[in-house]
Amino acid sequence: MAATRALVRMAVPAAVALLGGCTTLGPDFHAPQVPWLQGWSGGAWRPLADEAPRGAPPRDDEWWRQFDDPVLDQLVAEAQRLNPGVRTAGLRILEARAQLGIAGSALYPQLQQLSSEALVAGNRGSNGQGRTFGSFGLAFDLAWELDFWGKFKRGIESADAAYFSSIALYDDVQVLVAAQAASLYATIRATELRLRIANENAAIQRRSLEITERLFRSGNDAELDVQQARSQYLGTLATIPEIESSLRQTRNALCVLLARPPDALPELQGGRAKIPEARLEAIVDLPAEMLRRRPDVRAAEMQLAAQSAQIGISEAALYPSIALAGSVGLSATTFGSPGATLAWGLGPALVWNVFDHGRLTNQVLVQDARFQQLYEQYQDVVLRAARELDDAASSFAYTRAQVGILRDAVQAARRSLDIATVQYREGLVDFQRVLDSQRALFSAQERLVASQGGVVQYLIAVYKAMGGGWQAGRARPLLDDTTQTTMGERSDWKALLQAPLPPPSAQFPPPPTSDTP
C-alpha cells in the first residue's frame, strides 16, 4: 500500500505538469509576402489609369453595367446564377462546410459506442429432458483523446482555411462566368456587324457585276471585266456562310454558359450588329491591391494556410496520444444466478510510437514539402495575375488607338470606291481600279470591326484581371429551391443548405496565438 501511495504521489504532479505543457505544434500561418509586388507600378496599367475619367466611383463589382446594355446585364446575371460551373462551386462550399463540421467533432470524445449481445442455449438428453439458459449483456464504451499537442485544433484550422478557399474559388468562377458572358455577347454583336458588312459589300459588288454585264452585252466592255466582277462577288458571298457558322457557334457557346440547350437566343433580337461600348471608369486602387483581392490569389493563399496546419498535425504524431477511456456494462445470465452484474472502468491511456523507423518524421517532411510547393504556386499565381493585368491594359490601350485610324481608313476607302466607280462609267479608268477599291473597302471595314470588337474584349479582360464581379454572388443562395429540397430530402443537411455566405469584407480568421489547449 505504501508503494501504491508513493506511485500516486508521483503520478499526480506528473499529470499536472503534462496538462500545463499543452501546446499547438507546427508553424502558425502568416500571409505570404511577394517581394516585388509592393513596388510594382503596373507597367502599362499606370498610364491607362492616369487616362481614366475621374469623378465617378469605380464599378468593378458590376463592371458590365458600364456598357449600358440591359441585354448584357440580364445575360451576366443569368450566367452567374445558373451556370453549371457556378453551381458546382457552390456545392463544393457545402462539402467544405461538412468537412469543417467533421474537423470540429474531433475535440469531443471520438469513441461513443453502445453495444449489446444476447445468447440463448440449451441441451436435451436421450430421455427428452433438457435445460435452456441465456446470457445477456449491454455495454457503453467511451474514448476521448485529449488535444495535448493541438492536432485537432490544427485540423480545424486546416478545414477552416479549406472552407474559405472554396468560397474564394466560388468567387473566381463568378468572375470568369461574367467575363465569358460579356465576351461572347460582344463577339456575337461584332460577328453580326461583320455579317451586315459582308452583305453590303456583296450588294455593291453585285451592282458592279450588273454594270459590266450590261456593258459587255452592248459591246462596250470586255468579258474579262465581267468575269473579274463575278469572281469578286462570288468570293464575298462565300464569306457569308463562314460568318453565319461562326455566329451560330458563338450563340451556342453562350447558350451552354447559360445552362440552356443550343438554340436561338430571343434576347439578342434587339440591338443587332451593335458592338457595346464603354469607358474605363476611375481607377483608385494600386495594382498590388487589386492583385491581392483577386479570388484566385485569395484561394491560393487559403490553400497554403490549410497545408500549413497539416504540418502541425503530422508533428503531433511524433508525441504520445493521451486519452481517457471508460466503459460501463450490465450483464445477466439465467444459468446459476438470475441476478445482474454491473461493471465499470475509467482510466487514462497513452499510445506512443517510439520506434517508427523514420515514418513519422518523414511524414512531417512530406507535409512541409507540400507547403513549399503551394508557396511557389502562390508566387506563380500572383505573377500570372500581374501579367494578365498588364497584357489586358496594354492591348486595350493599343487597340483603342487603332480605332480612330481605321475609321479614317474606311472613309478614305469608301470615297476611293465612289471616285473609281464614277471614273469607270465615264471611261477614264479600267475596271481593275474599281475591283481594287472594293477589296480595299471590304478589308478596311473588316479591320475596323475587328478593332472595335477587340477594344471591348480587352476592356472586359481588364476588368476580369482586376478580379471584380464576384461580390453580388455572396448575397445569392448557393442552390436553387428545387436542389435544396432534393438534397434536404436525401440527407440531413439541417441549416447548412441555407447558411449565408460571409460578406465580401470577411477575411480568413488569423491562426490562434495562444498555446493553451
List pLDDT tens digits, range 49-65: 666 666 555 556 888 99
Task: Give me 238's grid cell.
Answer: 462565300
| pLDDT confidence band for 184 (50 / 70 / 90) | very high
Question: In the prediction, which pLDDT does 337 show?
Answer: 58
Q: How far apart are CA 42 and CA 288, in angstroms?
A: 8
| Model confidence at 515: pLDDT above 60 | no
What whole-number percentage of the chain has pLDDT above 70? 87
Mean pLDDT calculated for residue range 391-408:
90
Q: How far is CA 42 from CA 45, 103, 117, 319, 450, in A?
A: 5, 41, 73, 49, 27
| Model confidence at 501: pLDDT above 70 | yes
| pLDDT confidence band for 466 (50 / 70 / 90) | confident
Question: In the prediction, which pLDDT does 468 show?
Answer: 85
Q: How far apart are CA 360 and CA 125, in angstroms?
A: 61
Question: In the prediction, which pLDDT does 486 show?
Answer: 92
Domain boundaries, the chain: 24-85+171-317+361-490
Between residues 507 and 149, which one has the greater pLDDT? 149
* First CA to last CA distance, the chain: 35
Q: How far is CA 61 from the centre of its chain?
A: 16
Residue pointed to by grid coordinates 500581374: 386
Between residues 475 and 129, which one has the greater pLDDT? 475
The chain-wide mean pLDDT, for the chain, equals: 85
| pLDDT confidence band for 125 (50 / 70 / 90) | low
Question: In the prediction, which pLDDT does 10 show?
Answer: 40
Question: In the prediction, which pLDDT does 130 show?
Answer: 67
Which range (13-17, 43-47, 143-147, 177-181) has the least confidence? 13-17
> Considering the entire predicted model, what is its pTM?
0.85
| pLDDT confidence band for 1 (50 / 70 / 90) | very low
Mean pLDDT calculated for residue range 86-91:
95
Residue pointed to by grid coordinates 459506442: 113
CB 273 within 8 A of CB 445: no
CB 41 within 8 A of CB 283: no
Residue pointed to by grid coordinates 478614305: 412
User: What is the per-residue pLDDT across 292-336, written as a single tens digit (0 to 9) for each?
Assistant: 889 999 999 999 999 999 999 999 988 988 888 888 888 877 765
Q: How far apart are CA 274 and CA 193, in angstroms?
A: 7
Residue burial 4-14, b: 16+ Cβ < 10 Å; e: rest:
eeeeeeeeeee
Task: Give me 474's grid cell.
Answer: 455572396
CB 302 within 8 A of CB 141: no
Strand order in the sheet with 130-145: 111-124, 130-145, 321-333, 340-351
Q: If we measure between CA atoms, which residue out of 417, 515, 506, 510 comes closest to residue 171?
A: 506
H or E, element range at 193: helix 151-217
Between residues 256 and 40, which one has the greater pLDDT? 256
Question: In the prediction, which pLDDT does 8 show?
Answer: 37
User: What is the per-residue pLDDT across 192-238, written as a single tens digit (0 to 9) for each?
Assistant: 999 999 999 999 999 999 988 888 888 877 788 889 999 999 999 99
For 110, the 3-state DSSP assignment is coil
- What is the CATH code for 24-85+171-317+361-490? 1.20.1600.10
Q: How far apart are CA 323 and CA 109, in angstroms?
A: 9
Q: For 150, list phi and psi in degrees, rounded to 5.
A: 75, 15
Task: Give me 509's grid cell.
Answer: 480568421
Q: What does 218-267 look like in DSSP terms, one character per residue?
A: TTSS-HHHHHHHHHHHHHHHHHHHHHHHHHHHHHHHHHHHTT--S---GG
Pairing relationship of beta strands 340-351 and 111-124 according to DSSP bridges = unpaired
User: What is the per-residue pLDDT across 276-295, written as a single tens digit (0 to 9) for each?
Assistant: 887 776 565 667 778 888 99
CB 432 within 8 A of CB 504: no
